Chains A and B, each alone.
Chain A
């Protein structure tokens, strides 16, 4: 589904990702962990197509298409979804209008008819109930005045509505209490269907108790320096990252 080969990315001429390789197949959940500054969020932003992330070399193929050649909106319509670490507040644009616009762009892209207002509302209310969100969210301005937890839940709500093929969760767990974390993770798990895949970027092993990954990768200095089963996350939680650093500098 996603194939990243020898990816190198810099921001303002500073190399952040260096020779990164990663393959994700349908149905898989991959977790990316790593210390601050290792390039986790850069990877998410590059995949989503944020401005200012310059790809120096390498390739990214998504569903056998050249992902890096697409505009951000095209990537989304192809089925890529980024749950933002810091969702943007957009006054004046209601959650409902925004989501309806997004959903219908996606449907148009897939050759489907737009959802009418009633269908949209039924779908939206169903997903919101699952995420324990009040339906009044729909008429609020996008993320404006939302608490941290509400913003993250709103991201997962959008994901549930858009049904992406590959969802990238960029530190969706940061700043969430256990209850909110459980709800968010429940939303992700409900979406898993064997056809789609998840790339979960996190700082903490805690999230991975709820969203159980097939692979855990450790990102350090712009490269994936270690890959293991879900137990690797627990080991990192216990031992921290110093041993990774030592191992890595011994090799390098």
Chain B
């Protein structure tokens, strides 16, 4: 391991590729951008050796794809409202546990070089572990934290580290890994494939139900300004199996964090998967998150996404129906306060007949916050008897907040039922007055109404400690961002 910090991948770039950080190409003698990437890849491999050439090929292909497309900018229709430059004007470097923590060189071996609170009892993020029975996979700065993780359930399923699975059962992982990658995956998702660190490997054998939910904690802690995390999770529910996954990403410190994560999900025939995602990174947290899902015949998939706090949150959630009679429910709640941007892009690909999709996204924008919802429903020519429903409801609490909502229905079959609705409005003053007229303080009345608005998605969670935790955080955030509230912590 080099004793000097690895150079940022940001510097010189091929002429055709947009600059990663806007810097010009001055030093001709500096290693090429691609060389730097490869250097970084080499670094990664020393942490997780490659068991199959296949995995290296996927990284190379993704890197090439990234090089071709570069980071999107606002001219790109899909990224029109996302200030990507906020992410890319800072240099990018993959987090490395061996990099010096603050100053001076570290010569300790990779596994223990960076002093991490995560392995100590006084972990600052342990308060975020909901106190309930769940299998728990903890990733601190993209690295699997075995001590903090716990597996309750034993059975015909694997729950563990993807990097480890790539070594121990490479052929099985290779069946699924990166199988959903598509040329139109964003630069961030491509970069994740090229540079991914560790992540969850969840593989449920046919006909098996995992008894307890699986909680994935993605924690950013003590990152340096140029460090970026690339968590990569892979969920496979084989025929007739069922599993519920709770994915919680957060940040332990006040430092800035950037996370470009990918979740690939396979819901095989008649299987059932629930994926609940909570994004609660605090201030200065940027999260570009990509979820791709493939559903086979008769399968069910439910995603509930809660974007609670982050400077820039962008979610791409894509579901492809690959077999008939499948059903998905994609629901979400988002909150954009301060100058936050929260962007949810959904794409449901009705590629086959007789499938059903439902979307319910609700959001609140306040201060100068900007919330974006783009729900694309694509019904292919042969996808008859498709049933697709979409609803997006927004509340604007300040004059400077913005909501951009865009239903995008592209229907090429003629015997389908598709409907959509989008609303943006303010709190109804009549409702506030009604509550006040019963003695409830104005602030309390507004809080109650906002919580009621937001709760619709949360109340779909099963009644357990996780739901309690999510609801509590959600209500806390609403109290914080409410105009005129005492605690201006947003």
What residues make up the interface of A, taking CB atoms closer than 8 Å to B? 48-51, 71-73, 75-77, 81-82, 84, 87-88, 90-93, 97-99, 101-102, 105-106, 109, 158, 162
Please report the C-alpha to C-alpha distance between residue A102 and residue B429 in the assembled complex, in whole angstroms.
18
Point out the residue from B434, B439, B451 that lies within 8 Å of A77, measured CB to CB. B439
Q: Determine the distance from Cα of A162 to Cα of B435 in the docked complex, in whole angstroms.
A: 13
Chain A hits for B430, CB < 8 A:
88
Tell me, in angstroms, the Cα distance from A158 to B439 when the chains sit together: 12
Total interface residues on B, using CB and 8 Å?
23
Interface residues of B in 137-192 (CB under 8 A from A): none
B486 nearest CB across to chain A (Å)? 17
- A91 and B440 in contact (CB under 8 A), knowing A51-B429, A51-B433, A72-B433? no
Q: Kindly report which residue of chain B lies nearest to residue A91, judged by CB atoms.
A: B452
Q: Is the CB of A101 within 8 A of B452?
A: no
Given contact pairs A72-B437, A90-B431, A91-B452, enumerate 5 new A-B contacts (beta carbons under 8 Å).
A73-B445, A84-B434, A90-B434, A101-B448, A106-B439
- Is A73 in contact with B436, judged by CB distance below 8 angstroms? yes
Q: A92-B452, A93-B448 are in contact. Are A102 and B431 (CB under 8 A)?
A: no
Given A92-B453, A93-B448, A101-B444, A73 contacting B439 (CB threshold 8 A)? yes
Please name all residues of chain A whose beta carbon is closer than 8 Å to the beta carbon of B440 when the two chains form the complex.
Answer: 73, 76, 98, 101-102, 105
Does B455 make an interface contact (CB < 8 A)? yes
- Which listed residue, A87, A88, A92, A109, touches B439 by the CB 8 Å rule? A109
Q: A88-B430, A92-B456, A105-B441 in contact; A72/B436 too (CB < 8 A)?
A: yes
B449 interfacial by beta-carbon distance below 8 Å: yes
Q: Which residues of B contact A (CB under 8 A)?
A: 428-431, 433-442, 444-445, 448-449, 451-453, 455-456
Report whether B437 and A90 are in contact in the complex, using a CB–CB cutoff of 8 Å: no
Bound-state CA distance A75–B430 (Å) is 17
Report chain B residues within 8 Å CB of A76. Answer: 436-440
Do A90 and B452 have beta carbons less than 8 Å apart? yes
Q: Are A98 and B433 in contact (CB under 8 A)?
A: no
- Of B429, B430, B438, B441, the most chain A CB neighbours within 10 A belong to B438
CB distance from A166 to the nearest CB of B (A): 13
B439 near A98 with CB under 8 A, answer no
Complex: A92 Cα to B428 Cα, angstroms: 14
Residues of B within 8 A of A99 (CB): 438
Measured in the bound complex, the distance between the Cα atoms of B436 and A71 in whole Å is: 8
**Nearest Cβ on chain B to A118's Cβ, whole angstroms:** 21
Return the chain A residue nearest B435 by Cβ: A98
Contacts of B439 in A (CB 8 A): 73, 76-77, 102, 105-106, 109, 162
Bound complex: CA A109 to CA B441 (Å): 11
Most buried by B among A49, A73, A93, A109: A73
A92 CA to B437 CA in the complex, in Å? Answer: 19
Closest CB-CB distance, B96 to chain A, in whole Å? Answer: 46
Taking the nearest CB of chain B, how far is it from the CB of A206, in angstroms?
A: 26
Shortest beta-carbon distance, A67 to chain B, in Å? 13
Tell me, in angstroms, the Cα distance from A67 to B436 when the chains sit together. Answer: 15
Contact of B438 among A50, A71, A102 (CB under 8 A): A102
A73 proximity list for chain B (CB < 8 A):
436-442, 445
The answer to whether B428 and A88 touch across the interface, beta carbons within 8 angstroms, is yes
Task: Please measure, in the bound complex, the distance between the C-alpha atom of A248 and the C-alpha atom of B448, giving whole angstroms.
Answer: 47
A99 to chain B, nearest CB (A): 8
Known: A88-B430, A88-B431, A92-B455. A82 touches B448 (CB 8 A): no
- 6 smallest CB-CB distances across A and B, nearest first, come from A92-B452, A76-B439, A102-B438, A72-B436, A88-B434, A73-B436
A142, closest chain B residue (CB) = B434
A87 lies within 8 A of B429 (CB): no
On chain A, the residues within 8 Å of B428 by CB distance are: 88
Contacts of B441 in A (CB 8 A): 73, 105
**With A73-B442, A88-B430 given, is the CB distance from A93 to B437 under 8 Å?**
no
Q: Which residues of A contact B445 (CB under 8 A)?
A: 73
For residue B444, which residue of chain A has the nearest CB?
A101
User: Given the interface contacts A90-B449, A90-B452, does A50 sit within 8 Å of B431 by beta carbon?
Assistant: no
Instruction: Name 12 interchain pairs, CB-CB below 8 A, sorted by A.
Output: A48-B437, A49-B436, A49-B437, A50-B433, A76-B437, A88-B428, A90-B431, A92-B451, A92-B455, A97-B448, A101-B440, A102-B440
Q: How far is the CA of A72 from the CA of B445 in the complex (A)?
A: 12
B438 near A98 (CB under 8 angstroms)? yes
Question: Are B452 and A87 in contact, with the CB atoms below 8 A?
Answer: no
For A168, the closest partner residue in chain B by CB is B437
